[in-house]
């Protein structure tokens, strides 16, 4: 504190040269530190070096701490030495102080600099805490965290959105979802598994809520049905909001976000209810159609908070989805919705080997290509259910961010493969 000699390191955020006095504002991930050089009291070489520093250079400053009301944290450093650790070139590719705005492409092209901005940093600190809350929640519920392969031989969510790769002299794909592996783990007797990992979708769309590489939070649990895993999902979302609202006060403030923790339980609308709401709002959707973006938004606006759409028509859900026992036109499935978009989908799964084979064929796929998966259903597969929750979408909707690219460090979309 006051009078102590300290050594600090950081990036030169700002230089305010007033002639007789020069302020260097250093920045690190925790905040700002003012270094004050009074011309008359500072070694002339040091003073000269300090005022000529290029912004964003990395320096090491040793000096004496002094109380200063006007400094960012109530203290300033009177330097004895300033060492240059890495000089930044000038001009910078973009402004770090956020006085000058930059479009998303400029920001992503120089992402390492964009991430130095306070608001961008705040987003990723919050994302970190959100995922910590997810991990803690799942660990408390006794889920075993697993890592499944991302290089695979078969499609899980249908064949159109696959990235083919060359695997030695065979064709392989980047995994669209850990779906088949998390289900195999139910046959392995792991009971409850979870995974946070990348999913790859070769979808062509260019929207603010799709990426070609996204992060998915997946669970699968034995001896549960779709209603059981819906309750886990809503409690998880609730806990994430609560944890972030407690742990991330400065970051939420930096972003101007007032977080409202969603109330439990979330509303449940059947597909038929949601269809009626969309139709009342003038959207021409037939029974059995998926909701388009606009109709989805209309239902979201009518509900105004997180909600589930349950009991989807079986034929628009993947082959692993369990039909409803009382009416096989419907399935034991759900989507978790934020008023702005879908966050998760899940279901009770088909656990009968013969029914699963049949469902794969009905969906136009070749059951023989799924032998590694089907085999796990022949030697004792318990009833089970699960869901996949988009981590990027969870964070973007929580923070009211418009573009999914803003919550992903190095987003992959149709146009962007680097950095
Ligand atoms: P689904 O395909 O609905 O289900 O994906 C689950 C959730 O993952 C997120 N997501 C995406 N986020 C950003 N960009 C994308 N291209 C993208 N694709 C998906 C969404 C979505 O709700 N196997 C099932 C899950 C299950 O039943 O367990 C599945 O993958 O938030």
Q: Which of the residues 118, 127, 210, 349 is marked catalytic?
A: 210
Distance 33 CA to ligand 1 centre (A): 43
Minimal-distance CA residue to ligand 1 atom 19:
390
Distance 388 CA to ligand 1 centre (A): 6
| Among the ranges given (20-24, 97-101, 192-196, 240-244), the one the predictor scored with the smallest mean pLDDT | 97-101
Look up residue 111 and give its two tokens: 């992402």
Active-site residue flag, 342: yes
CA–CA dist 255, 398 (Å, integer)? 12
Share of the chain above pLDDT 90, in %: 94
pLDDT for res 205: 84
Residue ranges around ligand 1 (CB below 6 Å): 157, 177, 179, 201, 203, 210-211, 214, 216, 218, 342-347, 386-388, 390, 392-393
Active-site residue flag, 201: yes
Domain 113-266+305-407 has CATH 3.50.50.60: no
| Ligand 1 atom with minimal separation from the 205 CA | 16
Active-site residue flag, 258: no
What pTM did the predictor assign? 0.97
303: pLDDT strictly greater than 90: yes
Extents of the domains making up the chain: 5-86, 113-266+305-407
Minimal-distance CA residue to ligand 1 atom 23:
179
Confidence of residue 386 (pLDDT cuts 50, 70, 90): very high
| Two domains, one topology: 5-86 and 113-266+305-407 | no
| Ligand 1 atom with minimal separation from the 404 CA | 13
pLDDT for res 140: 98
pLDDT for res 15: 97
pLDDT for res 1: 75
pLDDT for res 159: 56
Q: What's the pLDDT tens digit per position in 327-356?
A: 999 999 999 999 999 999 999 999 999 999
Q: Candidates 345, 347, 384, 413: which one to mutate for ligand 1, based on the most atoms within 8 Å of Cβ?
A: 345
285 in Cβ contact with 291 (< 8 Å): yes
Active-site residue flag, 209: yes
Q: What's the pLDDT tens digit per position in 318-334?
A: 999 999 999 999 999 99
154: pLDDT strictly greater than 90: no
Active-site residue flag, 393: yes
83: pLDDT strictly greater than 90: yes
For domain 5-86, give its CATH number from 1.10.3210.10, 2.40.50.140, 3.40.50.2300, 3.10.310.10.
2.40.50.140
Minimal-distance CA residue to ligand 1 atom 29:
388
Confidence of residue 156 (pLDDT cuts 50, 70, 90): low
Cα 332 to Cα 5, 18, 376, distances in angstroms: 66, 69, 21
Q: Which of the residues 127, 238, 359, 393 is marked catalytic?
A: 393
Confidence of residue 155 (pLDDT cuts 50, 70, 90): low
pLDDT for res 153: 86
pLDDT for res 317: 96
Mean pLDDT of the chain: 96
């Amino acid at each position: 504190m006051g009078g102590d000699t300290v050594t600090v390191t950081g990036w030169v955020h700002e230089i305010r040269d007033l002639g007789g006095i020069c302020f260097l504002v250093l920045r690190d991930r925790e905040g700002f530190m003012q270094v004050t050089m009074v011309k008359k009291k500072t070694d002339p070489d040091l003073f000269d070096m300090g005022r000529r520093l290029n912004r964003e250079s990395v320096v090491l400053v040793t000096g004496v701490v002094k109380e200063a009301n006007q400094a960012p944290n109530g203290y300033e450093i009177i330097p004895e030495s300033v060492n240059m650790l890495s000089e930044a070139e000038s001009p910078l590719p973009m402004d770090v102080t956020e006085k000058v705005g930059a479009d998303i492409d400029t920001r992503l092209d120089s992402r390492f600099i964009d991430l130095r901005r306070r608001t961008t940093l705040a987003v990723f600190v919050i994302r970190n805490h959100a995922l910590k809350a997810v991990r803690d929640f799942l660990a408390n519920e006794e889920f075993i965290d697993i890592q499944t392969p991302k290089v695979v031989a078969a499609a899980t969510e249908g064949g159109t959105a696959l990235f083919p790769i060359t695997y030695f002299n065979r064709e392989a794909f980047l995994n669209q979802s850990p779906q088949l592996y998390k289900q195999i783990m139910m046959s392995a007797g792991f009971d409850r598994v979870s995974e946070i990992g990348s999913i790859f979708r070769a979808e062509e769309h260019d929207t603010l809520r799709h990426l070609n590489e996204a992060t998915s939070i997946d669970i699968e649990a034995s001896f549960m049905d779709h209603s059981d895993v819906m309750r886990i999902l809503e409690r998880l979302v609730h806990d994430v909001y609560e944890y972030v609202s407690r742990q991330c006060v400065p970051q939420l403030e930096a972003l101007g976000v007032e977080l409202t923790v969603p109330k439990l339980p979330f509303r449940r609308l059947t597909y038929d209810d949601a269809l009626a709401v969309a139709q009342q709002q003038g959207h021409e959707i037939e029974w059995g159609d998926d909701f388009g973006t606009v109709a989805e938004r209309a239902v979201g606006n009518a509900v105004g908070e997180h909600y589930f759409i349950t009991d989807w028509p079986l034929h628009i859900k993947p082959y692993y989805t369990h039909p409803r026992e009382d009416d096989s036109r419907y399935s034991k499935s759900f989507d978790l919705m934020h008023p702005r978009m879908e966050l998760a989908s899940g279901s009770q799964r088909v656990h009968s080997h013969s029914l699963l084979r049949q469902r794969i064929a009905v969906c136009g796929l070749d059951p023989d290509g799924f032998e590694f998966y089907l085999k796990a259903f022949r030697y004792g597969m318990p009833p089970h259910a699960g869901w996949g929750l988009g981590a990027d979408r969870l964070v973007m909707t929580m923070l009211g961010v418009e573009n999914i690219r803003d919550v992903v460090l190095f987003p992959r979309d149709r146009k962007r493969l680097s950095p």
